[in-house]
Amino acid sequence: MTYFKIKVFTGAAIALLGFGSILYWEFPLAASGADSSSNQPSKTLGETFSNNLTLKGHSDSVWAVAISPSGQTLASVSTDKTIKLWNLATGLEIRTLKGHSDWVNSVAFSPDGKTLASGSSDKTIKLWDLTTGLEIRTFVGHSVSVQAIAFSPDGQSLVSGSWDQTIKLWNVATGVVIRTLKANCDVVTSVAISPDGKTLASGNNFDTTIKLWNLTTGKEIRSLKGHDAAVNSVAFSPDGQTLASGSWDDTIKLWKLPTGEEIRTLSGHTNKVWSVAFSPDSKTLASASWDDTIKLWNLTSGKQISTLTGHVNRVWSVVFSPDGQTIASGSKDKTIKIWRMSH
């Protein structure tokens, strides 16, 4: 760990001690590292989702999780500097990807599901072949830790946000930087690309705004203001009509697109909101928080549907499966939990 990292995040160093390793997972029957619901009480959550599997294998905080477009594989990243792949249905670990020299902070599947990208505190982004588990290439260009990454819908470009106060747009095929955006903030913590591939949203620490960018020109479109603290997570709804943001002010805000008008504020968490994710039908939002819980929200009414409890420490990341029937969450308690829709 470098002095710069500690200096930048004074007062939040514990949270940052998880940005540095990657894990990738899949899930078969009660395999090594997976606790099935038959071995522990199943928690019914608002009669919608229940904890089906708990994946154990990381030696430190699980900072990010992602599910493949096919819905068959889960990837998770951790401070143990590894990436693990699991079968989402059974909990069986497929393999561990190693190559980063520092914490892995972010992970994303390509739209075709053939490759995986990982962003690390070693200042690089790595691209991995999911068939072989081999590294394809390393993207070098950021001067400090890479905190967030996202593929464009066509899979030809990759966006990354860094502690170096920039956002970079990369050519996936060559690893060459197409464009660098100056975020004018201390740390870019979150990036998301709209479903039509035309707009980029970014959130950052030490600033309460969300920035929207034209990906074609690299120009800032507008800043969304309303949060009272840092914005750590942004996500576009699959229908492209709404942007969600999670903040250190313990709230989630919903914004109308393309105008940027604030629709409503979702309140209920008792600590920082670290991750937000839309369901595939754009009707439900999941939020993960430092209060150790995940909450589900009805986006039509703005009402809380249920609270998913089971993690025993901060929840860093949450994601829906492509069919909306499964939720995965990663936590500081070193585990990944798989929540299935109850029928």
The tens digit of pLDDT for each residue in 160-188 reads 999 999 999 999 999 999 999 998 777 89
Read off the pLDDT of each residue in 290-300 and give the average, rounded to a whole number: 96
Q: Is the CB of residue 138 less than 8 Å from the CB of residue 124? A: yes
* pLDDT for position 232: 92
Residues 6+ apart with CB under 8 A from 266: 251, 252, 253, 254, 285, 287, 297, 302, 304
Express each pLDDT in 28-68 by its tens digit.
Answer: 333 345 544 333 333 333 347 998 899 999 999 999 999 99
pLDDT score recorded for residue 13: 34
Residue 190 has pLDDT above 90, yes or no: yes
Residue 51: the pLDDT is 86
Torsion angle defined by CA atoms of residues 85, 56, 21 and 288, in that order, rounded to the nearest 10 degrees: 100
Both tokens of residue 47? 């009669």
- Is 133 strand, coil or helix? coil
Band of residue 205 on the pLDDT scale cut at 50, 70, 90: confident
Residues in the chain, overall count: 343
Higher pLDDT, 157 or 204: 157
At 1 the pLDDT is: 38
Q: Which residue has the tokens 């059974």?
A: 90
Q: What is the pLDDT of residue 45?
A: 37
Distance between CA atoms of 133 and 281, rounded to whole angstroms?
Answer: 32
Cβ atoms within 10 Å, residue 209: 18
| Mean of pLDDT values over 131-141 | 96
Question: Residue 340 has which token pair?
Answer: 């299935």
Q: Tell me, what's the pLDDT at 28?
A: 34
Mean pLDDT for all residues in the chain: 87
Flag whether pLDDT at 21 surpasses 60: no
- pLDDT at residue 34, as a whole number: 52
- Token couple for 52: 């089906």
> pLDDT at position 343, please?
63
Parse the chain into domains and list their residue ranges.
3-38+48-341
Report how far residue 327's alpha carbon sits from residue 282's, in angstroms, rounded to the nearest whole number. 14
Is there a contact between 106 and 234 (Cβ–Cβ < 8 Å)?
no
Residue 213 has pLDDT above 50, yes or no: yes
Transcribe 32-85 into DSSP letters. TTEEEGGGS---EETTTEEEEEEEE--SS-EEEEEE-TTSSEEEEEETTSEEEE
Q: What is the pTM of this model?
A: 0.85
Please state which of the four CATH numbers 3.40.50.300, 3.40.50.920, 1.10.287.110, 2.130.10.10 is assigned to the domain occupying 3-38+48-341: 2.130.10.10
pLDDT at 12: 36
Strand partners, 287: 276, 295
pLDDT at residue 314 is higher than 90: yes
In the structure, what pLDDT confidence band is assigned to residue 278 with cuts at 50, 70 and 90?
very high
* Over residues 110-138, mean pLDDT: 97
Alpha-carbon gap, residue 164 to 185, rounded angstroms = 9
Give 67-103 pLDDT, tens digit per residue. 999 999 999 999 999 999 999 999 999 999 999 999 9
| CA–CA separation, 152 and 178 (whole Å) | 13
- For the four alpha carbons of 172, 232, 75 and 99, in that order, the dihedral sign comes to positive
